[in-house]
Amino acid sequence: MRARFAAAGLVFVVAGAALPAQAPVGSFTADQAAAGRAAFDTTCVSCHGSGQAPPLQGAAFVGGWGSRSTRDLLTAVQAMPPDAPGGLPQATYLALTAFLLETNGAVPGTQPLTAATNVPIDRLFRAPAQAFPAGPPAGAADAAPASAAAVSN
């Protein structure tokens, strides 16, 4: 009995080790990100775009989430909104997660984000310079259009 459990655990670990070999970009689609942007504007921006809650775009977000996975981010998104965690459809939570990845610089692809997607987020962000404000002065100008774009539409 115990040996059987151990064997099952081994298979799981081997399968998990294979995950990072997946494509580093394209872990969500542009359609998902667009749907997520719309949901963000109606459900999230009242707090996250007003200073009541931490901003979900920019260097602080990229720095804080770069070392974690898309599944960690999905879990955090599913805990929102605070007065009704888990209250939105799963497809909406996936779309919101895709939007947060895209708005922070990740590039969409053909593979949709699913609850099983578990890719390290720093492999999706294409501009590592964003994570550190100590870069060249030109980098500072990038932050404004990103947040302005998230508020419009």
Contacts of 142 (CB under 8 A, 6+ apart): 127, 130
Length of the chain: 153
Asked if 9 is part of the footprint of ligand HEC (rule: CB under 6 A), the reply reads no
What are the Cα distances from residue 82, in Å, to 24, 78, 86, 103, 121? 31, 10, 9, 22, 24
> Any residues with CB less than 8 A from the CB of 74 and at least 6 apart, and which?
93, 94, 97, 113, 115, 117
User: CB of 127: closest distance to ligand HEC in angstroms?
Assistant: 18
Q: How far is the CB of 66 from ligand HEC (least distance, A)?
A: 11
Q: Does 55 bind ligand HEC (CB under 6 A)?
A: no
Determine which residue in the list 64, 85, 128, 133 makes contact with ligand HEC, applying CB under 6 A: 64
Q: Which is nearer to ligand HEC, 81 or 139 (CB)?
A: 81
Question: Which residues are paired to 29 by β-bridges?
Answer: 109
121 is a contact residue toward ligand HEC (CB under 6 A): no
Distance of CA 110 to the CA centre of its chain: 16
Q: Decide: is 38 part of the binding site for ligand HEC (CB under 6 A).
A: no
DSSP state of 152: -
Q: Say whether residue 54 binds ligand HEC (CB under 6 A).
A: yes
87-106 footprint of ligand HEC as x/- string (CB under 6 A): ---------x----------
Residues near ligand HEC (CB under 6 A) are 43-44, 46-48, 52-54, 56, 61, 64, 76-77, 80-82, 96
